[in-house]
Amino acid sequence: MQNLLEYILFLTFSFLCRIFGLRLSRYLSVTIALIFFYIIPIRKKTVFENLRFAFPDLPENKIKKIALGTYKSFSVTLIEILFLPYTNEEDIRNSVKIKNIQLIREKFECNKGVILLSAHFGNWEYIALSSSIQACIPFSVIVKAQRNPYVTKWLDKNRQKWGNKIVPLGASIRQVYSELKEKNIVAMVADQRGPADGIRVNFFGREASVYPGPAILALKIGAPIIFGVAVRQPDFSYQTELVEIDTCNLPENEDEKVKEICQRHTSYLEEIIKKYPEQWLWMHKRWKY
């Protein structure tokens, strides 16, 4: 019953976004941010802990500014996701300006499959949708199910509106391997916390566990890894520059090869976060262990 009630509330907010329109809803999203920052502080302690870990030299007023900016950024993203049922293909295509979309096409034409990585940064749903439309190639998008199954079904329906395919995060790595063997593009976020006994890499000067899947698959199949995040602009548009993660000059040991590739794409993400810290989702415990 709780899931159903939550879903009805979710749909209500989605409908209200339609009534107000996307432009006004984005501006009103600051109200949501202020509520969850000051009145109902969801994960606020985690946000501040993460920011102090990442930026130990910043004064507390700067930390607070970034923290509030994070809530504002996430609120805009939430509004944009809620508005997806009322968004058309052209709007999604134009929502993200990708400087070098041809990189995806070029690597796809090499017939080795493509691993497309992103992060919980800016609007991660938009970049998966827009880049697929612009490249004119459907993606197999690996997603994590939400706690509420009704919301998961709603999200997956909108993620597949323009041709993308959903692959559940819990699916066997063989399924992902099969997608790449069929020369498809597999897209996923690469900033989630890995298992406690997983590979550790340096992230903001501290060890952080990561999922090795993208690196293992890249080595096994020879698929290139492309990283891209949607950086929000003041007018609520997004800009992206795709970067191929270098997989040359790796250590000889296989485990060290995997770790080095994980370190390289993690280091690239860290550079982006340092430039726009308020646009990354600091709400999950990235350094839990």
Per-domain residue ranges of the chain: 1-86, 91-281
How many angstroms separate the first and last alpha carbons of the chain?
A: 34
How far is 136 from 69, CA to CA, in rounded Å?
A: 34
Q: What is the pLDDT of residues 249-273, one digit of tens each?
A: 999 999 999 999 999 999 999 999 9
Is the Cβ–Cβ distance between 258 and 216 less than 8 Å?
yes
Q: Which residues are 165's β-sheet partners? A: 140
Residue 11 CA, distance from chain mean position: 23
Q: Which two tokens stand for residue 59?
A: 């004064």
Pick from 255, 240, 271, 40: nearest CA to 127? 240
Q: What is the pLDDT of residues 134-181, one digit of tens each?
A: 999 999 999 988 899 999 999 999 999 999 999 887 666 778 888 898
Supply the pLDDT for residue 71: 98
Q: How much of the chain, in percent, has pLDDT values that exceed 90?
A: 88
Q: Which range, of 50-54, 58-62, 140-144, 226-230, averages the lowest pLDDT?
A: 140-144
